[in-house]
Amino acid sequence: MEHEPLINTAKYGTLELLFFAAGGLAWALAYMGVLREIVRKNFVEIPATAVCANIAWEFTWGLVYRTDLGALFAWGYRLWFALDVFIVWGLLRYGVRHLATPRLRDYFRLSVVLAILGFGAAIYLLVRQGYDTSTGLVSGYMATLLMSALYVPQFFRERDRTPYSPFVAWCKLLGNGLVIGFCVLVYPENHFLQALCAITLVLDVYYVVLFHTRRVSSAG
Amino acid sequence: MPVATTEWFNTARYPVPLLVLFGVGCFGWVVAYVAIVRNALRNRFLEIPAGAVVANIAWEFVWGFLYPNELGRFFSWGYRIWFFFDLGIVYMLFRYGDKQVELPELKAIFRPACVFGIAAWAVAIYFFVGEGYDTGYGAISGYILNTMMSALYVVIVLRHGHLVDFSLVVAWSKMLGTALLTVFNFLVQPGNPYLLLLCLLTLALDLLYIGLFYAIRSGRAGALEAATREGAA
C-alpha cells in the first residue's frame, strides 16, 4: 500500500496548499463562532437545509472518501465533521426557531434526519460517478452555494438579527474566498467549479454587506 | 459534451417505444405549465416556487438553444416549447411572484433576486454540461432542479396556507410527467446511480406533496392546516 504523505506536496504547490489550509482554518473558526452562539443564545444561524447538506458532505468526504491533499487535510475534514456534529445537535435542539409555522415543529427533526440521509446518498453517488474533484470541491461548492443562497432570505426573515455573528459572516467569506483561490490555481479548466465559486462569492459578499447595513439598523 | 444529431428522432440509439415514453413524460410537464399559468391568471398567485422557476427557465434556455439533444431535433424543439411556455410563467413570477414572500424587505429585492437567480443558474448549468457531467439530453442537471422544485413545493404549500391557490392538476401532471421520465432514465441510464437516486428522491417528494394536498383538503391534516394558517396569519 502506498504511503500517504502528511501533506501532498508532490501534487500541490505550496501556495495552493496554503490557500486551502487557511480557507479550511477560517471555516473551522466560522463553525466555532456558530457553536458559540448555540451555547450562548440557543441559536443556530446556519440555515437548516445548509446544515444538513454540510454534515452530509463532511461525513462523505471525511469518513467515506479521502482527499488526496494528504493525511493532515484528511483529518481537517474530520475536524470539520466533528464540529458540525455539534451544530447538527444544536439544530435538532433549537432549529425550530427558524420555522415560520411554529406548530410544524413535530415534523422538523424528522425532516432534518431525512434531508441528511438524502444529501448523504446524493453526494456519495455523485463522487462515485466521478463528477467530483479528488478534494471534494465540486460537491463541496454545491453545498456551500446552497448555504450562501439560503443565508440571505433567512437573515431577512428573522425579526431579531442580533444573534447573527459578524465573526461568522467574515470567516465564512474569508474561508470561501481562500478555498476559491485554491480552486482557481488548481482547477483552472473546471469551469463549472469556477462558476459555483463565483456565484458563492457574490452571495457571500452580498450577505456581509447586508449584515452590516441591516443588522445595525435592526439593532438600532 | 452532448453529441449533435441531425435526425429528428435518434432511433439508432433510442428505440421508438423509449422515445414515446420520453415524449409522453414531457407532455405531462406541458399540461402542468398550462395549468400553472391558468391558475396564476385566475388567482393572481404563482404556485410554482420562485426558486424553481428561475432554475427551470435557465435549464430550458441552455438545453433548448445552446446544446444539441442526443434524442433528436424533435426533442430540442420540445425543450424550446417548454421554454416559451415557461416565459409565461416567468412573466407571472415578475408580476405576482412576490406574494410568495411576506416580508416587505424580501419583496423589495424579489425581482432583482429572480434576475440574478436566472443568470446564475444559466451559467452553472451551461458549464455543468460543458464539463461533461450531464447526460446527452440534460437529465442530471434537469433532475437536480426537479428535486429542488419538488422539495420547495412541499415547503410552499405548507407555508402559504391557502390550498385554493394550488392546483391538483399541476400536482398530478408534474408527478406523472416526472415519473415517466424517471422510468425512461431507469431504462436508459442504469449505470448512473446518482441520476437514479435523484429520480427516486423527486418521486418521493412528489408523492408526499400529493399526499399532503389531499390530507389538507380533506381536513385529515387538521393540525397541519391550522399550523399553516397560523403561519400565514
Task: State whether ipTM is beyond 0.95.
Answer: no
* The pLDDT value given to residue A144: 96
* pLDDT, averaged across chain B: 90
The count of other CB atoms within 10 Å of the CB of residue B86 is: 24
The answer to whether A103 and B223 are in contact (CB under 8 A) is yes
Looking at the partner chain, which of A122, A128, A199 has a beta carbon nearest the beta carbon of B120?
Answer: A199
Distance CA B191, CA B111 (A): 41
DSSP A103: G
Confidence category of residue B174, pLDDT binned at 50, 70, 90: very high
- Tell me: pLDDT of A108 over 60: yes
- Tell me: pLDDT of A13 over 90: yes
* Residues A101, B127: C-beta atoms closer than 8 Å: no
* The pLDDT value given to residue B106: 86
Give Cβ neighbours of residue B98 (< 8 Å, ≥ 6 apart).
B106, B107, B110, B111
Distance CA A124, CA B22 (A): 28
Cell triple for B14: 433510442
- Residue range B52-77: mean pLDDT, rounded: 94
Put simply, the chain B residues between 64 and 123 with a CB less than 8 A from any chain A CB are 101, 103, 105-106, 116, 120, 123
Residues of chain A with C-beta less than 8 angstroms from the C-beta of B201: 118, 122
Q: What is the pLDDT of residues A122-145, one digit of tens each?
A: 999 999 999 999 999 999 999 999
Residue carrying the nine cell digits 409555522 = A101
Kindly report the pTM of this predicted structure. 0.90
Residues of chain B with C-beta less than 8 angstroms from the C-beta of A103: 223, 226-227, 230
Question: CA of B207, closest CA in chain A: separation in Å?
Answer: 15
Question: CA of A126, closest CA in chain B: separation in Å?
Answer: 6
* The pLDDT value given to residue B215: 87
* Residues A101, B101: C-beta atoms closer than 8 Å: no
